[in-house]
Amino acid sequence: MTKAIKPHFPDAVVGEVRVAERNDGTNRCARFKLSYARGDGPKALFFKAHSSKHRIVHLRNGNLFIEPNLFRSGAELPLDHPRVYRVLVELLRLDFLLVMEDLAERGADPRDASRPLSVAQAANGLRSLARMHSAYWGFSRWTHPHLGWVRTWAPSQGWQVGLRRFVPKGLERAGGMLPDEVARLSGDAVVDLWARYVRTLAEGPMTLLHADAHIGNIYVLPGDQVGFLDWQVVRRGNWSQDVGYFLVGALTEADRRAHERDLVEEYRQALDVPQGERPSREAAWMRYRASAAYGLAIWLSTLGTDGYQSREISATLAQRYAAAFVELDCLGALTGA
């Protein structure tokens, strides 16, 4: 523990350590309480490693070492995220360890689908995404060589294998909760639409994407600032994937319907990019409408699995993305995206 925090707290010597919490879910996570023999440092640390149950899925999807590579790279992320003190990678064992701050020390409030954001909080989250997207606008391996390993979004077979296996089960479990226009789709049709949308993410100005910015990877700080967890899916691609996936999942359906146009415009205006490269209001709205295809497939697939998220959380998010898919005429938007 002392070695992990030494670069940040050079006078600290850890005395005692005790496990305060442990969770072996999608990842293996633990919180440790610390006391100090000398000096001072964080009162707690959060450890994260891969779950052995899901390691092969992360490998198949190309996500296995993205988060440790991101934080080892020293890349600046101009939005709130957990501070990472130390990164260890075991290539042969297909594993890693992140030693991070305990966000509870900053009063962070982790959210999930049962506790959506307010409209004001969602606006703050979009402005944060706009800052990051602006900083990496035009991102490529030549503009940012230290991030040359980041993949451009593509509907790879690794992703599609899992989606095609579990989306049909998710549709079955959703029962009568989905709009008829979604319920009558086959699993393959849902995945085909996901793939069609993901292909559009390689078009237009590229940026660095969190790429997994759903409500379960979000926390709210005092003052309603929004931070982002779990950088395991980082990709290079079009801004719309972060914005749509975040916005539709983070709000209640009523708040989304009432405020989404204004919120998409809030994001667009917050982009600090050359005027000629800023998407027009009409183009931004079209891209946003098309993005519902992404979240729909992901959360129907998650609903069809066991051990990733609770069925209640998965069903709630599948419903949110399904409602947006229909109400925003996602199919029509995909034609123009």
Residue carrying structure tokens 């925003």: 328
If 0-12 CB within 10 Å is exposed, 13-18 middle and 19+ buried, where does residue 234 land? Answer: buried
Residues 54 and 121 in one domain: no
pLDDT at 337 over 80: no
CATH number reported for the structural domain that contains residue 33 in this entry: 3.30.200
Nearest Cα neighbor of 309 from 234, 239, 212 is 212
The pLDDT value recorded for residue 55 is 64
Residue 302: which pLDDT band, with cuts at 50, 70 and 90? very high
CATH number reported for the structural domain that contains residue 174 in this entry: 3.90.1200.10
Residue 235 in 3-state DSSP?
strand
**Each residue's pLDDT tens digit, 229-243:** 999 999 999 999 999
Average pLDDT over residues 42-59: 79
Residues 260 and 137 in one domain: yes
Residue 203: which pLDDT band, with cuts at 50, 70 and 90? very high
Residues 48 and 195 in one domain: no
Of the residues 101, 133, 160, which one is the last residue of a structural domain?
A: 101
**Each residue's pLDDT tens digit, 85-127:** 999 998 877 788 999 999 999 999 999 999 999 999 999 999 9
Residues 204 and 299 in one domain: yes
Name the DSSP class of 103: G
Domain range for 240 is 109-336
The pLDDT value recorded for residue 308 is 80
Residues 92 and 113 in one domain: no
26 CB contacts (<8 Å, ≥6 apart)? 51, 54, 307, 308, 309
Of the residues 101, 127, 161, which one is the last residue of a structural domain?
A: 101
The pLDDT value recorded for residue 43 is 95
pTM across the whole model: 0.94
Residues 172 and 245 in one domain: yes
